[in-house]
Amino acid sequence: MSTPTPSTQEQKENKALLVALSVVVIASIVLAIIGFVFLNKPADIIEGQADATSVRISGKLPGRVMDIYVSEGDMVRAGDTLVHIHSSLAEAKLMQAEGMETVARTQDRKVDAGTRIQIINSARNLVTQAEAAVTIARKTYDRLQNLYDEGVVSEQKRDEAKAAYDAAVAGHNAAKSQLELAIAGAQKEDKESAAAMVNVAKGGVAEVQSVLEDQYLLAPCDGQIDQIYPEVSELVMLGAPIMSLLKTQDKWVTFNVREDLLKDMPLGGEIEVMIPALDKKKVKAKIYYSRDLGSYATWQATKATGQWDSKTFEIKARPLEDLPELRPGMTVVYFK
């Protein structure tokens, strides 16, 4: 019996290796065809995040933070007192404005009350004196006129008596005018001016009081205290934010979506989203907002491939059920 030569043995081994490789290649091709035909295409995943409205609490009173009545994470109701800010300067301004209002009201009452009775009586006495002076001057003039007619006195004496009489009449008229002014009191313009000054003073008080109203800042709505910026005893400026309030009832989810996927997320439509942090909870959400993010968020295509640029749109949707455990910043996933 003859034994195979080395060359014959090597040929057999090479042939067996080629057959094995052929089988592997054919099996790979078959598996690829089966996968392409029978396996489902993986769904497109659009990832977004939850958000909520944040309200900044600030006031128009610059001053020192005296008390902060809440802590970060506290739930508050609309109208709850959040912080006390003290301003000695504003309180001094209020005292000054109230003093000016008191002065203006006093002056107004004085004008409305008219002239004091003592001044009126004094003016009336002056009129009586003037009337007496007119009577005496008249009698003196009449006597001198008769004497002048008889040639007893000179014309000079008669003229002096006439001048004295005219002066007495003028003094009487002036006294009567003073009495009439005293009885009539202030002029209409003076009264209107005094009333206007009262209104100006009241406006000054109201202005300072409106500023001091913000020494106690209240919660404008229900929500949760998100962040507190200053510490007690720190100074805060006009309009500086003191804290931020999260409106936990006003939540939404935001997605940045390429425009060729917008057909599956129409405005006003409902989508199902999944929240990984809430044990992969699935909820329905309604799309209420869609906006182009601008040219800086454009997907640039390679023109040689026959494609085109696609812009990115910001999509917002509100969950259709209340999710107290949903927190801003949580990841939200939409499976296209």
Q: What are residue 233's phi and psi, to 5 degrees?
A: 85, -10
CATH architecture of the domain covering 54-86+216-244: Beta Barrel (2.40)
Sign of the dihedral through C-alpha 150, 154, 157, 158: positive
Delimit the domains of the chain by residue range. 45-51+248-335, 54-86+216-244, 100-207
Average pLDDT over residues 179-203: 66
pLDDT at 282: 93
Q: What would the pLDDT profile of 254-309 be if each residue is shown by its tens digit?
A: 999 888 888 888 999 999 999 999 999 999 999 999 998 876 555 555 555 556 67
Question: Residue 268 carries which DSSP code?
Answer: T
Q: Do domains 54-86+216-244 and 100-207 have the same CATH topology?
A: no
Q: Which CATH class is domain 45-51+248-335?
A: mainly beta
**CATH for the stretch 100-207:** 1.10.287.470
pTM score above 0.85 = no
Helix then strand count (H, E) for the chain reads: 5, 13
The encoded tokens of residue 291 equal 């906006």
Q: What would the pLDDT profile of 292-306 be if each residue is shown by its tens digit?
A: 887 655 555 555 555
